[in-house]
Structure 1
Amino acid sequence: MNLKELTKAEEEIMQVLWQQGSAFVKDVLEVLPEPKPAYNTVSTIIRILETKGFVKHIAYGKTHQYYPAVTKEDYRAFVTNKLRAGYFDNSARAMMSFFMENEQIDLKEADEILKMIEEMKKRQ
Structure 2
Amino acid sequence: MISSNIKPTEGEMEILQVLWQKGQATVREVHEALNKKDSGYTTTLKLMQIMHEKGMVERDTNQKTHIYKAIVSQDKTEKQLVTKMIDNVFNGSAARLVMQALGNHQASADEIDEIKKYLDSLK
Both proteins in one fold, TM over 0.5: yes
Which residue among 60, 74, 77 is the counterpart of 1:75?
77
- Residue identity over aligned pairs, in percent, reads 32
Alpha-carbon distance in structure 1 between the residues aligned to 2:35 and 2:116: 37
Alpha-carbon distance in structure 2 between the residues aligned to 1:16 and 1:30: 10
In 2, are the aligned partners of 1:10 and 1:49 still within 8 Å (CA)? Answer: yes
**How far 1:110 sits from its partner (Å)?**
4.8
Unaligned runs of 5+ in 2: none
**Greater Rg by CA:** 1
Corresponding residue for 1:87?
89
**How far 1:68 sits from its partner (Å)?**
0.2
Please tell me the root mean square deviation across aligned C-alpha atoms, in Å. 2.4
Alignment of 1:3 with 2:1, yes or no, is no
**How far 1:80 sits from its partner (Å)?**
0.8
Higher relative contact order (CA 8 A, sep 6+): 2
**How far 1:119 sits from its partner (Å)?**
1.8
Length, aligned pairs only = 119
SS in 1 for 2:61: strand
Unaligned runs of 5+ in 1: none
Alignment of 1:12 with 2:11, yes or no, is no
